[in-house]
Amino acid sequence: MSTTTNRRTVTVALYVATFLAAIEGTIVSTAMPSITGELHGIQHYSWIISIYLLATVITTPIYGKLSDLFGRKKMFIAGAGIFLLGSMLSGLAASMPQLIAFRAVQGLGAGALTTIPYTIIGDLYPFEQRAKVQGWMSSIWGIAGITGPLAGGLLVDYVSWRAIFYMNLPFGIVALVLLMVSMKEVSVKQNRHIDYPGIASFAAGMFAFLYALTILREPDASQSITEIILLLASAVILLTLFYYIEKFSREPIIPLQIFKIRTISAVNSISFLICVINVVAIFYLPLWIQGVLGESATYSGMAMIPLSIGWPLGAILAGNFIAKYGMRRIAVTGSLFLIAGSAGFMLMNAHTSIVLFMVYTCLSGLSFGLSLTSFTVAVTSAVSWELRGAAVGSNNFIRTLGQTVGIAMFGLLLNTGNTEAIDALKLEHSLHRIFMILGVMSVVALLSMFMLPKAGTEGSHAAPDAADASS
């Protein structure tokens, strides 16, 4: 990275881009009733969100590696351009099939926005500053969780559902211009080789696997069991092929050697576990408020605000204290908060006060902010420049994969009754089982934290500020 790069301006541009990617899920969910009302096709409801997530998950590690090969700036501009194109087309969609296709385009670009900003921050800042900046960047996801539903509701009610896609254009263009003008990058790779067989086998294998999980979440999944089995078998074959391709590729899309680094292998394992817990809490706690307690959707949204506040607060605290206390201490502290929150959920019943519920959600939010932010800093510090994009991409991929697997697997345990109306008693019993499993997983996460290296060893595998050495 060139010394003439304006770090502050580039950081602002990355914050804006990250916010656009972070808010996309919650803002679109709010507009779905209006979208299906105008475009019809209620049977395709879930695919508006699922196809975006599928494309994002698959492209996340690919963008990470390509940024190592061709430079962060070029790949960020390419990904952001695709994301904005998909946003514009989604706003113009005249039918549900069109919107699904355009959302796929948007997701293909979003993979860059969820990965490359963290990689650039890792390049621009030394360890102490990097932690603070990435802490603030991680907090953006919590802020988006609060503002997304509100912004989506206002745009749908007073403008149009199409405005939720068009709003990406001015902010995205500003972020792109700021980055293009302020970031100076010198290409360090002369002999570039793109791992096309690796990209193809990975994309096809992950699509088959994630598509199978998507079908598994459908109410009539039992009728598609043959299709699910065929998809999972295809995924196993394709991902096995991908593994062998990566072993012999000159520039593997996911370098297998990064998993030999203790920090990265431990962080990825724990990230998967925590993100399973994370997504189940986000999806099923509002269901407890509405289905068990019988409160409104607005009420449940208000009850979840402490989680959205705790998350960015934990991320900021992690960013400020990780250099002083080390990644493992911060992550262990986060896991203790997680156990406390999960224990509270396990003990809840229909008479638990909403105040206690909000305390438990706040503790969980703090834990996600503390743990996941410290993991991001650890990954960017554990490798040198030429592997940083791939390392960050793999970690973000593992996180999203954990969320995808978590919501599919726990969906099998959910029981809302056999009638069209929710059976509150059956729902309460099934959610109790789910919360019990989350409690056990929280304890496993805490025990797994001790696989992490102690303070002072996080970046021991990388050359000292290797990224800055390439500046």
- 262 and 159 belong to one structural domain: no
- 275 and 146 belong to one structural domain: no
Please give the pLDDT value at position 3: 52
Is residue 83 domain-resident? yes
Q: How many domains does one find in the chain?
A: 2
Geometric angle at alpha carbon 168, from 164 and 172, rounded to 5°: 175
Read off the pLDDT band of 221 (50, 70, 90): low
Residue 92 sits in a domain whose CATH number is 1.20.1250.20
Mean per-residue pLDDT for 323-336?
Answer: 89
Domain that holds residue 306: 258-471
Distance CA 389, CA 65 (A): 5
Is residue 245 domain-resident? no
Distance CA 64, CA 112 (A): 8
Q: Is the model's pLDDT at 470 over the cut of 50?
A: no
Higher-scoring residue by pLDDT: 291, 117: 117
Q: Pick from 183, 206, 231: which residue ends a domain?
A: 183
- 316 and 453 belong to one structural domain: yes
Please give the pLDDT value at position 420: 56
**For 294-298, 373-377, 440-444, which range has the lowest pLDDT when averaged over its residues?**
294-298
Mean per-residue pLDDT for 353-378?
Answer: 91
Is residue 412 domain-resident? yes
Q: Quickly count: other Cβ atoms within 10 Å of residue 70's Cβ.
A: 16
Is residue 219 domain-resident? no
Q: How far is CA 361 from CA 278, 338, 339, in A?
A: 11, 9, 12
Higher-scoring residue by pLDDT: 100, 1: 100
Q: Pick from 152, 183, 214: which residue ends a domain?
A: 183
Nearest to 310 by CA among 352, 359, 348: 359
**For 188-197, 242-251, 350-359, 406-415, which range has the lowest pLDDT when averaged over its residues?**
188-197
304: enclosing H helix or E strand? none
Q: Which amino acid is at 68?
A: D
User: Which 8-state DSSP code applies to residue 60?
Assistant: H
Q: What is the mean pLDDT of the chain?
A: 84
Is residue 325 domain-resident? yes
Mean per-residue pLDDT for 161-187?
Answer: 88
Distance CA 402, CA 418 (A): 29
Q: Pick from 183, 210, 232: which residue ends a domain?
A: 183
Higher-scoring residue by pLDDT: 118, 424: 118
Is residue 230 domain-resident? no
What is 136-183 written as a DSSP string? HHHHHHHHHHHHHHHHHHHHHHHT-TTHHHHTHHHHHHHHHHHHHHH-
Is residue 195 domain-resident? no
Q: Is the model's pLDDT at 192 over the cut of 60?
A: yes
Is residue 206 domain-resident? no
- 152 and 263 belong to one structural domain: no
> What is the per-residue pLDDT across 52-105, written as a single tens digit (0 to 9) for each?
888 888 899 999 888 888 888 999 999 999 999 999 999 999 888 899 999 999
- 57 and 170 belong to one structural domain: yes
Nearest to 443 by CA among 352, 346, 349, 370: 346
Distance CA 364, CA 361 (A): 5
The number of helix segments (H) and strand segments (E) in the chain equals 18, 0
